[in-house]
Chain A
Amino acid sequence: MSDYNFAYLDEQTKRMIRRAILKGVAVPGYQVPFASREMPMPYGWGTGGVQVTAACLTPEDTLKVIDQGADDTTNAVSIRKFFEKTADVAVTEKTAEATIIQTRHRIPEVTLTEDQILVYQVPMPEPLRFLEPSEVETRKMHALQDYGLMHVKLYEDIARHGEIATAYSYPVMVEDRYVMSPSPIPKFDNPKLESAALQLFGAGREQRIYAVPPFTKVVSLDFDDYPFDPSKAPHPCALCAAEDSYLDEVITDDQGTRMFVCSDTDFCADRRAAQEGEAA
Chain B
Amino acid sequence: MTPLLDVKDLTKTYGGRVGCTDVSFRLYPGEVLGIVGESGSGKSTLLNCLAGHLPPDRGQVIFDTRAEGPRDVLTMSEPERRMLGRTDWAFVHQNPRDGLRMRISAGGNVGERLMAVGARHYGEIRAQATDWLGRVEISETRIDDRPSAFSGGMQQRLQIARNLVTGPRLVFMDEPTGGLDVSVQARLLDLIRGLVRRMGLSAIVVTHDLAVVRLLADRLMVMKDGHVIETGLTDQVLDDPQAPYTQLLVSSVLQV
Do A and B contact each other directly (Cβ–Cβ < 8 Å)? yes
Measured CB to CB, the residues of A under 8 A from B are 131, 140, 143-149, 151-152, 155-156, 158-160, 222-226
A159 and B79 in contact, given A148-B116, A225-B122, A226-B122 (Cβ under 8 angstroms):
no
**CB-based contact A151/B115 at 8 Å:** yes
CB < 8 Å: which of A155, A222, A224 contacts B111? A155
**CB-based contact A148/B113 at 8 Å:** yes
Measured CB to CB, the residues of B under 8 A from A are 78-79, 82, 86, 101, 104-105, 107-108, 111-117, 120-123, 125-126, 143-144
**CB-based contact A148/B117 at 8 Å:** yes
CB < 8 Å: which of B108, B120, B126 contacts A152? B108
Q: How far is the CB of A190 from chain B (nearest CB, A)?
A: 18
**CB-based contact B121/A156 at 8 Å:** no
Cα(A224)–Cα(B121), bound, Å: 5
B105, B113, B115, B123: residue with the most chain A Cβ atoms closer than 10 Å: B115
A146 nearest in chain B by CB position: B82
A145, A155, A223: residue with the most chain B Cβ atoms closer than 10 Å: A155
Q: How far is the CB of B148 from chain A (nearest CB, A)?
A: 14
**CB-based contact A152/B82 at 8 Å:** no
CB < 8 Å: which of B105, B107, B112 contacts A149? B112
Cα(A80)–Cα(B55), bound, Å: 53
Q: How far is the CB of B22 from chain A (nearest CB, A)?
A: 31
Q: How far is the CB of B208 from chain A (nearest CB, A)?
A: 30
A223 and B116 in contact, given A152-B104, A152-B108 (Cβ under 8 angstroms):
no
**CB-based contact A225/B123 at 8 Å:** yes
Cβ of B122: which chain A residues have Cβ within 8 Å of it? 155, 158, 223-226
**CB-based contact A160/B86 at 8 Å:** no
Cβ of A151: which chain B residues have Cβ within 8 Å of it? 115, 120
Cα(A144)–Cα(B111), bound, Å: 19
B111 nearest in chain A by CB position: A155
A164 nearest in chain B by CB position: B122
**CB-based contact A155/B125 at 8 Å:** yes
**CB-based contact B121/A152 at 8 Å:** no
**CB-based contact A155/B78 at 8 Å:** no
Cβ of A160: which chain B residues have Cβ within 8 Å of it? 105, 144
**CB-based contact A148/B79 at 8 Å:** no
Q: How far is the CB of A61 from chain B (nearest CB, A)?
A: 42
CB < 8 Å: which of B82, B86, B115 contacts A155? B115
**CB-based contact B115/A152 at 8 Å:** yes
A154 nearest in chain B by CB position: B122
Cα(A159)–Cα(B105), bound, Å: 9
**CB-based contact A156/B108 at 8 Å:** yes
A223 nearest in chain B by CB position: B122
A159 and B144 in contact, given A144-B82, A223-B122, A225-B121 (Cβ under 8 angstroms):
yes
Cα(A255)–Cα(B117), bound, Å: 52
B101, B108, B111, B114: residue with the most chain A Cβ atoms closer than 10 Å: B108
